[in-house]
Structure 1
């Protein structure tokens, strides 16, 4: 593994850990200025770093956190590091081409950031797995929802393709 690859990996791991800690700390403290009924509910999370769907979920969780942090100057660097760690070079090239063509984020296929996301395994074969990422763009009963099909390599867990669901 090259020094650059190790540095990118370490940056992505540190960013993911920091974002996870920032997200979990208020919940663990049980305090918040805007405490709502939902905030009082117990929330748990767990994961398996060997699971391809979990890998996609980890990427989208950290990426969306980074994209939402518009007031943090390091957020753009973090998003780039996440892309470098989770996406194959071909997927990064496809994302960059989409962004140049559409002037929108090529991971989210949008110009803004969703308020919620979820990931579900939808199939596997020929050494790849497909996950469906569902993005919710607002709260309320008429929230807009979009989907992205994410193809991942089962051996490396690397995301090799992203396609918006039409």
Structure 2
């Protein structure tokens, strides 16, 4: 007779039994998890990555706006921190013009508003001799959300030299 040794059969049965138990256990868990997580929740659980570089003007503009908005929306309205951020990021000659604009318009010159947005987006609008970035500030949420679009220009050494609704060249 050509029979297989009896010692192999119990091992195969044990492996099959273990795989069957794993499948029976995992399937309801997977179905429960997928039924509970909506696509929006699944996306919210995914890790996000934000990259930047201190040598990139668009990154620096985004960092500046993020830090200013954080400072102003935090406790005590971040007056001292906002002033220090301005000194660091804005060219001294333009900072004088910005202060004059604020006195004339009774609003924050960086945000061009009297309050703080809930969200911001920075998009490269670069030119050959300087960097320009489009800034979209979002105020409110849902159907009542409103946006403001600004253009911010920087020098090659990453200092802000312009904030307005049009670019440095008036475009």
CA RMSD of aligned residues (A): 2.0
Partner of 2:125: 122
Where 2:131 maps in the other structure, the secondary structure is strand
1:59 to 14, 39, 64: 64
1:72 to 73, 76, 79: 76
1:47 to 41, 48, 52: 52
User: Aligned-pair distance for 1:89?
Assistant: 1.2
- TM-score, normalised to structure 2, is 0.68
Partner of 2:98: 95
Partner of 2:164: 163
User: Aligned-pair distance for 1:46?
Assistant: 1.8
User: Aligned-pair distance for 1:147?
Assistant: 0.9
Is contact 1:109–1:164 with CA below 8 Å preserved after alignment? no
Aligned residues: 127
- TM-score, normalised to structure 1, is 0.70
**Between structures 1 and 2, the one with greater helix share:** 2
User: Aligned-pair distance for 1:123?
Assistant: 2.3
CA distance in 2, matches of 1:159, 1:65: 19
CA distance in 2, matches of 1:93, 1:102: 14
Could you say which structure has the greater relative contact order, defined with CA pairs below 8 angstroms and 6 or more residues apart?
1
Partner of 1:33: none
Where 2:81 maps in the other structure, the secondary structure is helix
User: Aligned-pair distance for 1:91?
Assistant: 1.7
Where 2:137 maps in the other structure, the secondary structure is strand
CA distance in 1, matches of 2:118, 2:107: 17
Does residue 109 (structure 1) correspond to residue 112 (structure 2)? The answer is: yes
| Cα displacement string for residues 2-30 of structure 1 (whole angstroms, at most 9, x for unaligned residues) | xxxxxxxxxxxxxxxxxxxxxxxxxxxxx
CA distance in 2, matches of 1:65, 1:39: 22
